[in-house]
Chain A
Amino acid sequence: MTTIRTISFDGVIVGGGGAGMRAALQLSQSGYKTAVISKVFPTRSHTVSAQGGITCAIASADPNDDWRWHMYDTVKGSDYIGDQDAIEYMCSVGPEAIFELDHMGLPFSRTEEGRIYQRPFGGQSKNFGEGGQAARTCAAADRTGHALLHTLYQGNMKNNTVFFNEWYATDLIKNQDGAITGVIAICIETGEVVHVKSKATVLATGGAGRIYASTTNAHINTGDGVGMALRAGVPVQDIEMWQFHPTGIAGAGVLVTEGCRGEGGYLVNKDGERFMERYAPNAKDLAGRDVVARSMTLEILEGRGCGPEGDHVFLKLDHLGEEVLESRLPGICELSRTFAHADPVKEPVPVVPTCHYMMGGIPTNVDGQAITVDADGNDQVIPGLYACGEVACVSVHGANRLGGNSLLDLVVFGRSAGLHIEKSLREGVDLKDATDDEIAKAASRLTNLNNTSGGESVAELRKELQTIMQNHFGVFRRGDYMQEGIKKLAELRPRIENAYLEDKSNAYNTARIEALELHNLFEVAEATAIAAEERKESRGAHAREDFEDRDDENWLCHSMYFPGEKRIGKRSVNFEPKTVDTFEPKVRTY
């Protein structure tokens, strides 16, 4: 391989979504030379699609609100495999992070008092589940993600962060000590490949919803960070935990926010029955997402679905009135008219549970440092590597994420990763330079792809992968089905590794990027499949027909997928918050 250009930074962030830009902002503000590598212009990242809001106890809607109540809800929502020290950190630091966003200019909706508007969201309670529904989700109409992402980009612009927009990081570079010293990246516009060297590498690449055929996720959510980590031998945690959002528009997959139900909308079956009253008598349509998604699926499976095929249910909103819909949910009205051909002001929206969020990911501590487990089962920090946002598993979401917690996760932990890197840089970071061989090794996947002279089409292989995941690892899972799925995936691996790159040109070659993305999708899918088959219980989003109950004796723990041996290990959940008492596992009802 010819030697490639090296660019050096104090910190390099892979991914220009909310988490990446929040981390970058923290570093840039402290004057460190910071670069963001983003495969799309940052405001086109998937954070932009977040709608309903960012959940946080800022005590606007309820002056007595308490972050501990939010913590309780989050722990319960996680089905008790969220780490309580991390959840404690997120919920307690959250308000500060929200106020910073306001000071940066985020155009939150407002209350009459001039404070930030908060709406009810699923799984949110007052007084540790005793005080009824809480309104805790801070919103900028139903475009909170858009407002957040643009504000963060603007903040970075103000602080002179260096952006490598429309550059694509392909692989991590690992030195002889097992430390991560940077990435290989390709400029999509010109095809130039460079070695980006950095004292800290942050993976903030978001989710991988595109492993499923039906997803609310953008085309770009291809699990690039997970793929890079797994290829570098970094394990992933709880990767079997995939959230199916109750309300994706049937057929299109486009998300309609939980805020619809927060504002008073509800789900009905073909008989017009508000069926959630049966499944969750208290919280009804605002139960945890896993609970609502399963209930919907059961309604459809039992023949009470709507439409000629009976394959969806309806989200009823028209009773809220045009004024509320147009002021609180203007984006939803627009999306529904475009993609469902249904005007929410007049008629219900056809919805179906749709893959939405990856709760699992690269295990990290609250400082965003990536973690692996040594032979004795002890946590080991991977030097030089950080992760934050959806790609990370801190874990604050455990087996099921609450609505509005993803945006909070990404600002709080993007920020904390930035703070920790700042501190380490101040104290001095000393990583051995990667050798030419180590760099060439990281670049080898790209080199191999560029040399393919035959093989199958990327688009067709991707479709096959998505179908396997959709059919074998969906809302309900069963051992024998999953084993069959794993077998199919094993057959698919060599075909995907040898996928054909027909177009070898350099200028804006998106075929090359899609082939590289397919490799990453496959890594995520395989890890998901193996972990899902191994976890022999039902917990949160992981619902098994052959193991219907939660098994706290064996599975009140994180799963760890080790890519080398394709082995599942266990890692204990943290039950030791610093300032509050432990929330002991209870039966989870809404």
Chain B
Amino acid sequence: MVTAVTNLGRSGLSDWLTQRVTAVIMLAYIIFIASVVVGGVEYTEWKALFSQTWVRVFSLATFLSIGMHGWIGLWAVSTDYLVPHVLRIKAGEAVASQANLLRWVFQAASAIVLFTYVVWGIQILWG
């Protein structure tokens, strides 16, 4: 069992499930929005739509899904590629020796971006 890494304490299974559930939510949201937009939508209709609670909750669920899905995906990408033995081949020893720092910076940046996005979304919905 690999325990030397932190993924906010979640298990591989919960990550895997979360990614799939959030993907379904995002897909459903895309279909929902697309169907609204394709039909042609005026500002007033759009505003009316978003004044309904269920639409706001659905949107919120989607923002949170993007946050979680994005985090799990980016975290996986960073732990695949931003590791010493991969960087050594792709970018040389100097970069490889800073792999841990690079990965941490990348993860922190990802987390900040995703967090900001979620907070911003909430502000738009309820602001």
| Contact between A and B in the complex (any CB pair below 8 Å) | no
Residues of B within 8 A of A (CB): none
Residues of A within 8 A of B (CB): none
